[in-house]
Amino acid sequence: IVDDTVGDVDASVGDVNDTVGDDDASVGDVDDTVADVDDSFREVVASVGDVDDTVGDVDDTFGDADDRVEDVGDAVGDVDDTIGDVDDTVGNVDDTIGDVPDTVGDVNASVGVVDDTVGDVDDTVGDVDDTIGDVDDTVEEVDDTVGDLDDAVENLDDTDEDVDATVGDDDAPVGDVDDTFLDVDDTVGDVDDTVGAVDDAVGDVDAP
């Protein structure tokens, strides 16, 4: 009886050792999961850096748009100045007609100046159109950059979801560790019962 009981004790001790080994493996799984969480957070930090860079690009593009708008304002000012020149030239034509009604040649010359000035106005208006086209191009660049910002934010959201999923996976190994500790407690209880049985058996042997 004693030999059988001692054998049971050895078997129970072996079970305890196996359970402790399972516990060590579960702790290793927890360490691996924590490392995965750390990597995921590093990816989040990198994604935030990408968002910052994209926001900087948006700021630069809007600065370019402001410059283009100022160019349009300058070009419109040039148109106003040229129109003023036309008005002055027309006034000169009127003066020439009034002062020298017989000098048709002078009138024709003044009309030629008006034509030249009108040509300058057309050229300036063309410059305004070109500048407005540049503004349109800049607005398209802003739209593209904003689209890049939206993509970066979506990547950040995806990384956050990966972190949440990784943290959720982390709960499983922790639960395994808790179960392993319960198994250890049960096995220790079995050992105590077996030791008690050994004591009883030894008592029976010692009894006359």
Mean pLDDT of the chain: 67
pLDDT at 163 over 60: no
What is the rounded (10 degree) CA torsion for 61, 67, 72, 74? 180
pLDDT at 101: 57
In whole angstroms, give the CA distance from residue 6 to residue 55.
Answer: 74
pLDDT at 8: 65
What is the rounded (10 degree) CA torsion for 45, 49, 54, 59? 130
pLDDT at 141: 72
Mean local confidence (pLDDT), 55-81: 74
Percent residues over pLDDT 90 in the chain: 0
Confidence class for position 194, pLDDT limits 50, 70, 90: low
pTM of the model: 0.37
Q: Which ranges constitute the DSSP H helices of the chain? A: 2-99, 104-206
Which has the higher per-residue pLDDT, 30 or 171? 30
Mean local confidence (pLDDT), 34-61: 76
pLDDT at 206 over 70: no
What are the structural domain ranges in the chain?
Answer: 2-206
In whole angstroms, give the CA distance from residue 208 to residue 203.
Answer: 10
